[in-house]
């Protein structure tokens, strides 16, 4: 490659990385755990706060089960996204939230 191409490629790469990090959103992630797939009886929760990594300590209480709703709360935008999940023995996978799912049954809410 010529020196000019290398410089151009480095500049484009820098802009892509800078733009991506400038608009990235941090999330407060809250997992509310339930006794079964009806998502009606909450029994535990854990929360990872804005700007922390999965390896950082987090708060939790109650019992962790195979059924949870996972809430992503935008730290800057205060947008909320909820995903119902089931542990399949290896990892959590998305499942449809039942029509009877009521977010007011949660034990933990974003504190923002």
pTM over 0.75: no
How would residue 111 be classed by pLDDT, with cut points 50, 70 and 90?
low
Bin 78: left if φ > 0, else alpha if -120 < ψ < 50, else beta.
left
Distances (CA, A) of 25 to 57, 74, 104, 111: 20, 7, 25, 17
Beta bridge partners of 87: 92
Q: Which pLDDT score, from 0 to 100, does residue 90 have?
A: 97
Domain boundaries, the chain: 26-105
What is the pLDDT of the chain when averaged over all its residues? 78
Contact 101, 83 (CB under 8 A): no
Contact 43, 32 (CB under 8 A): no
Task: Report whether pLDDT(12) > 60.
Answer: no
Q: What's the full length of the chain, in residues?
A: 112
Q: Which pLDDT score, from 0 to 100, does residue 4 have?
A: 55
Q: What is the pLDDT of residues 35-84, one digit of tens each?
A: 999 999 999 999 888 877 767 778 899 999 999 999 888 888 888 889 99
How would residue 21 be classed by pLDDT, with cut points 50, 70 and 90?
very low
Task: Report whether pLDDT(88) > 70.
Answer: yes
């Amino acid at each position: 490659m010529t020196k000019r191409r290398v410089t151009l490629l480095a500049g484009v790469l820098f802009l892509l990385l800078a733009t991506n990090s400038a608009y990235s959103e941090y999330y407060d992630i809250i997992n509310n755990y339930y006794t079964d797939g009806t998502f009606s009886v909450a029994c535990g929760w854990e929360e990872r706060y804005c700007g922390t990594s999965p390896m950082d300590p987090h708060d939790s209480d109650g019992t962790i089960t195979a059924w949870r709703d996972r809430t992503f709360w935008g730290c800057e935008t205060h947008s909320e996204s909820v995903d119902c999940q089931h542990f399949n023995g290896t990892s959590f996978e998305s499942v449809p939230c039942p029509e009877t799912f009521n977010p007011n049954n949660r034990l933990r809410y974003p504190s923002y």
